[in-house]
């Protein structure tokens, strides 16, 4: 089967069949845009339908672990060039600031095929958008339809209907429409709703200068490759720098009952800074001084959603990918990474010249390849999110093997 970079293989199959597929993707998040880029690179014609105008994209930082970063690099996307920081050390502290563990990852980094990076979600998303919509040697740029909410999908005919009534027909529909997916409702036994796991998280950025200007918090900006976690029994603060080390990214996880959004919905809910400082009042004063430096207007809060494992990701000419198929809790930073892997797998399974009549079978193969791995990582995320002294103990070898050892893209 052709790799995404396999121009020769593409020509061979093109001369045998001479056809591209028309691919419709619902959702221009990280999964949808990566799938669009990878499938366009195979020579297919791709259209992406995004409900928002993508005018004020939100989101803080995101992990690009070696599994995801390797795929992006093969697609010509190098996150170092738009500000991602290296991940070199993990520091673990008690809530009151005592050092409990220090893990140097620089040696481990040499063993992995690609570096583990800490990227800014908006910078990554902008880059994906730009690569998708720029003309490419393999043909047409991806057609990105913004403010185009999909309200219906017909898997048998690979068709979609937008809110304004217009319809589009293709050979394949990919549902990359996130945790509240409507595409999921079209697969057998997919009509399930995500539910709260009982925890919420504040997420926000603190400018590095703000931390540097205060002697109490200067210590936190000295190490650009460091991820720090302060643990109390049922809450934790995670911090790491990104965006060329210009900002410190925070995710603060606590029981859901203690925080509420002030306004907004979904990924764009505004949280209350003073409430947050109260929730973390038992933490090291220096850490509290640091999180207190956030611009109050930029504090976001979100409920951490889980979902039961669904038995089918595909039906006829429709397949789900990313959060639509398997929404992850964020505790190991693999939500974007596994969506990127899904996208890459689809491109490998659909080389140029794929006969349209093979679409449904190839989508079944996609599920077979991806299902066990994605669900296992989902399970790891749940385990890592348990309270500090939770009952489940993680097998670190298995964890590391799943997260970092694996490189599905290079299928030569």
Binding site for ligand FAD (CB under 6 A): 26-32, 49-52, 57-60, 62, 121, 149-150, 176-178, 182, 203, 267, 322-324, 330, 335-336, 339
Spatial contact of 261 and 300, defined as CB atoms under 8 Å apart: no
Q: CA 91, CA 100: separation in Å to the nearest integer?
A: 8
Q: Which residues are within 8 A (CB) of 214 and not within 5 positions of it... i.e. 6 or more apart?
A: 289, 293
What are the CA-CA distances from residue 312 to residues 13, 360, 379, 409 (Å)? 30, 13, 17, 23
| Smaller CB separation from ligand FAD, 19 or 369 | 369
Please tell me whether residue 287 adopts helix, strand or coil conformation. helix
**CB count, 10 Å around CB of 154?**
16
For the bound state, the minimum distance from the C-beta of residue 107 to ligand FAD, rounded and expressed in Å, comes to 27
Of 325, 317, 315, give the one whose Cα is nearest residue 372: 325
Closer CB to ligand FAD, 13 or 403, in the complex: 403
Is 10 or 300 the residue whose CB approaches ligand FAD more closely?
Answer: 300
Helices and strands: H and E segment counts in the chain: 11, 19
Asked if residue 214 lies in contact with residue 339, where contact means CB atoms within 8 angstroms, the answer is no
Q: How far is the CB of 164 from ligand FAD (least distance, A)?
A: 12
User: By C-beta, is 198 or 285 nearer to ligand FAD?
Assistant: 198
Shortest Cβ 9–ligand FAD spacing (Å): 27
DSSP of 343-371: HHHHHHHS-TT--GGGHHHHHHHHHHHHH
Which residue of this chain has its Cβ atom nearest to ligand FAD in the complex? 29
Q: For the CB of residue 212, give the shortest distance to ligand FAD in the complex, in Å.
A: 24
- Choice between 144 and 336, CB closer to ligand FAD: 336
Which residue's CB is nearer to ligand FAD, number 68 or number 290? 68
**CB-wise, 354 or 381, nearer to ligand FAD?**
381
| Tokens linked to 88 | 């070199």
Cβ within 8 Å of residue 239, ≥6 positions away: 220, 227, 228, 229, 248, 249, 250, 290
Helix, strand, or coil (residue 238): strand
Least Å from the CB of residue 372 to ligand FAD: 19
Nearer to ligand FAD, 338 or 360 (CB): 338
Burial annotation 156-189 (CB, 10 A radius, 16+ → b, else e):
eebbbebeeeeebebbbbbbbbbbebbbbebbee
Shortest distance, CB of residue 398 to ligand FAD, whole angstroms?
23
With CA atoms as reference, report the closest residue to 117 among 63, 67, 68: 63
Question: Exposed/middle/buried for 100, CB within 10 Å: 0-12, 13-18, 19+?
Answer: exposed
Nearer to ligand FAD, 2 or 24 (CB): 24
Record the tokens describing residue 182, joined without a space.
């409507």
- Residue 2 or 338: the one with the smaller Cβ distance to ligand FAD is 338
The set of residues, in sequence order, having a beta carbon less than 8 Å from that of 96 and lying 6+ positions away, is 282, 283, 284
- Report d(CA 59, CA 125) in Å as an integer: 10
Shortest Å distance, C-beta 355 to ligand FAD: 28
Taking the complex as a whole, the smallest distance from the CB of residue 310 to ligand FAD amounts, in Å, to: 14
Shortest CB 49 distance to ligand FAD, Å: 5
Query: Minimum distance from CB of 307 to ligand FAD (Å)?
Result: 12
For residue 307, what are the contacts with CB-CB under 8 A and spacing of at least 6?
179, 192, 193, 194, 195, 326, 327
CB of 65 to ligand FAD, least distance (A): 13
Among residues 183 and 349, whose Cβ is nearest to ligand FAD?
183
């Amino acid at each position: 089967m052709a790799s995404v970079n396999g121009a020769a293989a593409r020509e061979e199959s093109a001369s045998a069949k001479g056809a591209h597929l028309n691919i419709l993707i619902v959702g221009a998040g990280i999964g949808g845009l990566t799938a669009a880029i990878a499938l366009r690179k195979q020579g297919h014609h791709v259209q992406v339908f995004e409900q928002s105008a993508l005018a004020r994209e939100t989101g803080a930082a995101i992990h690009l672990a070696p599994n995801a970063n390797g795929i992006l690099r093969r697609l010509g996307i190098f996150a170092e060039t738009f500000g991602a920081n290296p991940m070199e050390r993990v520091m673990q502290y008690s809530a009151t600031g005592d050092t409990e563990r220090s893990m140097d990852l620089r040696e481990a980094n040499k063993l992995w095929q690609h570096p583990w990076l800490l990227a800014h979600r908006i910078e990554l998303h902008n880059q994906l958008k730009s690569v998708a919509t720029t003309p490419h040697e393999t043909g047409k740029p991806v057609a990105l339809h913004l403010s185009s909410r999909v309200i219906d999908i017909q898997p048998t005919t690979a068709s979609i209907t937008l809110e304004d009534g217009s319809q589009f027909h293709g050979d394949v529909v990919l549902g990359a429409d996130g945790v509240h997916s409507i595409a999921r409702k079209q697969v057998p036994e997919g009509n399930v709703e995500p539910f709260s796991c009982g925890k919420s998280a504040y997420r926000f950025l603190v400018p590095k200068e703000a931390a540097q200007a205060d002697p109490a918090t200067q210590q936190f900006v000295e190490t650009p490759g460091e991820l720090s976690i302060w643990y109390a029994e049922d809450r934790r603060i995670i911090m790491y720098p990104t965006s060329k080390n210009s900002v410190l990214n925070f995710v603060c996880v606590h029981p859901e009952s203690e925080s509420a959004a002030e306004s907004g919905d979904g990924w764009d809910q505004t949280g209350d800074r003073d409430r947050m400082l109260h929730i973390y009042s038992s933490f090291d004063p220096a850490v509290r001084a640091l999180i207190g430096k956030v611009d109050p207007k930029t504090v976001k809060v979100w409920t951490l959603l889980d979902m039961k494992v669904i038995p089918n990701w595909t039906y006829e000419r429709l397949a789900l990918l990313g959060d639509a198929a398997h929404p992850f809790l964020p505790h190991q930073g693999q939500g974007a990474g596994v969506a990127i892997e899904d996208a890459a797998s689809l491109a490998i399974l659909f080389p140029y010249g794929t006969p349209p009549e093979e679409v449904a079978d190839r989508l079944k193969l996609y599920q077979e390849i991806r299902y066990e791995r994605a669900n296992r990582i989902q399970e790891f995320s749940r385990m890592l999110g348990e309270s500090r002294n939770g009952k489940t103990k993680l097998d670190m070898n298995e964890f590391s093997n799943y997260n970092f050892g694996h490189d599905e893209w290079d299928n030569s």
